[in-house]
Amino acid sequence: MISARKLIKASYYAGKDFFRPPQVRDVRSPAVAAVMVPIRSLGPSETGRIVQHLLNLAPADRYLRFGYAANDEQIERYVSGLNFERDEIFGIYNRRLELIAVAHLAFAVEADFTSCAEFGVSVLVHARGRGYGMRLFDRAVMHARNEGVHMMFIHALSENTNMLNIARGAGAIVERDGPESDAYLRLPPADLDSRMTEMVEEGVAQTDYRLKVQAHQFWSFLRMMQDVRRGMRDARDRTSS
């Protein structure tokens, strides 16, 4: 588990790059392992971005995420039914404030299963290969532990090997039943380390998000000023000709 000191240090150095012009990354280039990935708890005010994230999934990815070929209306209905009071939604933003990865930790509502939670995740195609799914899984496990969850499970299509490999890598027991599989992971109880690490990680992620918002506003303003100057220059050229 990453120490609080390392998290703060990584956030500081990452923040120094926020005000550089955003660039489009070549998806064919090999991924570079990040020192830290800020993962932020999402709230009701971000439902629009969650919807957009899921709508950006290709049909095959929607099928793997939901277990059926979800159309746009079904995705919007799913997001509108999210319970932010009970469940936890985690997200990873890029520098353009695009929600590139989202995880849903759903807590059981049945009285006999209050110590259980289910995990689901989606990552946009251009952001894959960087370990975001595993990072979100680890974040969800830590939060579940701190909320008193003893068992976390994943219900996925058997062909969703990426999701099942994440579960196996964490030590989960995977049971296959034809086209569907269930993974069960028993969680250790919370301790001081898990509680402090979650608190620091969330604080770092919130700071990371605010810096990204400020950088986005700065570059948007700069582009607007460039458009204004370009318009004035074009007007002068037309007047003089």
Residue 54 sits in a domain whose CATH number is: 3.40.630.30
Residues whose CB is less than 8 angstroms from the CB of residue 234 and which lie 6 or more positions away in sequence, other chains included: none
Let me know if residue 201 belongs to a domain: yes
Does 20 reside within a domain? no
Residue 222, CA distances (Å) to 19, 25, 217 in order: 12, 21, 9
Distance of CA 47 to the CA centre of its chain: 13
Q: Enter the tokens of residue 90.
A: 């985690």
Is the Cβ–Cβ distance between 152 and 141 less than 8 Å?
Answer: yes
Cut 0.85: pTM above it: no
**Contact criterion met (CB below 8 Å) for 91 and 40:** yes
The rounded distance, in Å, linking the Cα atoms of 197 and 3 is: 7
Evaluate whether residue 15 is within a structural domain: no
Residue 41 belongs to domain spanning: 37-205
pLDDT tens-place values along the chain, 241 residues long:
444 454 444 444 444 444 444 444 443 334 444 457 899 999 999 999 999 999 999 999 999 999 999 999 999 999 999 999 999 999 999 988 899 999 999 998 876 666 899 999 999 999 999 999 999 999 999 999 999 999 999 999 999 999 999 999 999 999 999 999 999 999 999 999 999 999 989 888 888 878 877 776 655 656 676 766 676 776 666 766 6
CA distances to 17, 22, 174 from 219, in Å? 13, 9, 47
Identify whether 223 is part of a domain: no
> 6 in a domain, yes or no?
no
Domain total in the chain: 1
pLDDT value at position 92?
96
Does residue 118 lie in a domain region?
A: yes
Closest CA to 16 of 207, 224, 203: 207
For residue 241, being part of any structural domain is answered with no
Residue 101 has φ and ψ, to the nearest 5°, of -150, 140
Question: CB pairs under 8 A, 24+ apart, for 35-38?
Answer: 35/10, 36/2, 36/6, 36/7, 36/10, 36/11, 36/204, 37/92, 37/130, 37/131, 37/132, 37/135, 38/11, 38/14, 38/92, 38/93, 38/201, 38/204, 38/205, 38/208, 38/209
pLDDT for residue 161? 94
Is 45 inside any structural domain? yes
Q: What is the pLDDT of residue 216?
A: 63
